[in-house]
Chain A
Amino acid sequence: GENVEQHPSTLSVQEGDSAVIKCTYSDSASNYFPWYKQELGKGPQLIIDIRSNVGEKKDQRIAVTLNKTAKHFSLHITETQPEDSAVYFCAATTNFGNEKLTFGTGTRLTIIP
């Protein structure tokens, strides 16, 4: 089955700087890659997603890039703010429309004021 690895497990960034979180996947058939943000005591919230026919997607300060050849995708957060502090999870599914996602183990992002 699919295996998703996520790095780093923790990341501290000065407020205003950029943060990058990387994930690799094992199954070349994977074609949908969402990112979730989980604040303390809450459920994961979908913040951005990308399909395999697109190399990059941007939504305000958040962007996701996909490299299908290398089988990795990354989350980029620019101009970080204190409210960006959270745990971020990447995920992948092996077939668009497949009902199951495989999640990475999470990155705890801390924004230093």
Chain B
Amino acid sequence: NAGVTQTPKFRVLKTGQSMTLLCAQDMNHEYMYWYRQDPGMGLRLIHYSVGEGTTAKGEVPDGYNVSRLKKQNFLLGLESAAPSQTSVYFCASSSLPRQYFGPGTRLTVT
């Protein structure tokens, strides 16, 4: 039982490049989330999903897209990366109300 896993762990992008972050969970949870963590700002919700095939906007959705084609996977896409998207990204899954987090992806946009 791996819990929540994230791929990749680290990535450096140039401004304007695109990439996809993958989150996978093996706990059969309906709810999945993407957060970003910046110094002094805690965790901010980007997008979330309440079940396979659904997505919804969180607090800071601009510049990101998501897809939940399979229950166990939640993908976060950056179509045209900007330096303001330099952050640590965490995925979480939930059997309400408890949320369980992955190890994170550190993304740097230069």
Contact = CB atoms under 8 A, between A and B. Distances in A.
Interface residues of B, number: 22
Count chain A CB atoms within 10 A of each CB in B42, B58, B104 and give the residue with the most.
Answer: B42
Q: Is the interface of B mostly helix, strand, loop or mixed?
A: strand
Interface in A1-57: 6, 9, 32, 34, 36, 41-46, 49
A43 B58 contact: no
Contacts of A43: 4, 90, 101-104
Given A42-B103, A44-B90, A99-B48, A34 B98 contact: yes
B94 to A, nearest CB: 7
Interface bin, chain A: 20 to 34
Nearest to B44: A103
Interface in B78-110: 90, 94, 96-104
A32 B98 CA distance: 9
Nearest to B3: A43
B30 to A, nearest CB: 9
Interface in B33-53: 40-45, 48, 50
B47 to A, nearest CB: 11
B74 interface: no
Given A42-B104, A99-B50, A100-B48, A89 B43 contact: yes
A113 interface: no
Contacts of A36: 101
A99 B31 CA distance: 7
Interface of A: 6, 9, 32, 34, 36, 41-46, 49, 89, 93, 96-101, 103-106
